[in-house]
Amino acid sequence: MTRTCLFALVLAACQAPTKHRDTTGATAAIDVPVGPVPGPGEASQANPNPYTKNDDVAVEEGFKLFQRYNCAGCHGDHGGGGMGPSLRDVDWRYGDTDAQIYDSIAEGRGFGMPAWGTKLPEDHVWKLVAYIRSLRTAMEPDRPSIAADTEAPPNTTAGLARPQVQNPPPPEQGK
């Protein structure tokens, strides 16, 4: 049966060169590469990123939110990974642009990443994006030491205080 259909399609193609007129009612063929990265890419549903690249206030706020929303519990205190993948490495399953990271947070991803878009205000998601983009750069807050510390570790929390955010109200749809 499949073979018959295929044959019919080939026939149809030969007999009807006008490519917009097929019997399925589909729209025109896509003439740009579809690409292997999931998500809308630069054409995110979100409004444009309100923070510039060097906005250290947004980065610092994002670091606090990363703890407050328990991102740290899955992705590591400083994004090194655990229950969820590392955000500090060079691999980005779902793309590494601001908009793609926004979409990964807002829409959720397979195997357990929640969709936070319905639970967090948009600017919180953008601040998380700002923090994630800062990892391994000079902008990263409380950047962890990778010294070969063993029995007498340095006080890596000196300097920048740990986040002292107040407990926010429970997220509206989190329960």
Partner 1 sequence: MSRPISTRWTSALLLLVAACGSSSGGSVEASGPPNGQPEGPAQVRLVSPLPNGEWTLPAGDLANTRYSPLAQLTPQNVKGLKIVSTVTTGVPHGHEGNPLVVNGVMYVVTPYPNNLMALDLTKNGQLKWLFRPHPDPRSVGIACCDVVNRGASYADGKIIYSLLDGHVVAVDAEKGTEVWRATVGDINRGETLTAAALAVGDLVIVGNSGGELGVRGKVVALDVRTGHEVWRGYNTGPDNEVLIDGTTKMFYPHDQGKDLGVKTWPVDQWKLGGGTVWGWLSYDPETQTLFYSTGNPGVWNPDVRPGDNKWSCAVFARDLKTGHVKWVTQLVPHDSWDYDEINENIAIDMEWQGKMRKVLLHPGRSGFMFVIDRETGEVLSAEKFEPTNWASSWDLKKGEPVKDPTKQTKHGVVVKNICPSSTGAKEFSPSAVSPRTGMLYIPAHNTCMDYEGVDANYIEGTPYLGASVKMYPGPGGYQGELIGWDLKTQKKAWSIQEPVLPLTGGVLATGGDLVFYGTMDGWFKAVDAKTGAVMWQMRLGSGIIGNPITFLGADGKQYVAIYAGVGGWMGAVAFPDVSEDDPYAVLGVVGAMKDIKKYTGPGDALYVFSL
Tell me which residues touch partner 1 (CB under 8 A).
67-70, 72-86, 88-89, 91, 110-114, 136, 144-146, 149-153, 155-157, 162-168, 170-171, 174-175
CB 156, min distance to partner 1, A: 7
Cβ proximity to partner 1, 69 vs 126, nearer residue: 69
Cβ proximity to partner 1, 51 vs 87, nearer residue: 87
CB 92, min distance to partner 1, A: 11
CB 132, min distance to partner 1, A: 13
Cβ proximity to partner 1, 31 vs 91, nearer residue: 91
Nearest Cα to Cα of residue 125 among 40, 41, 68: 68
Cβ proximity to partner 1, 26 vs 147, nearer residue: 147
12 contacts 22 by C-beta, under 8 angstroms: yes
Beta bridge partners of 109: 113
CB 168, min distance to partner 1, A: 7
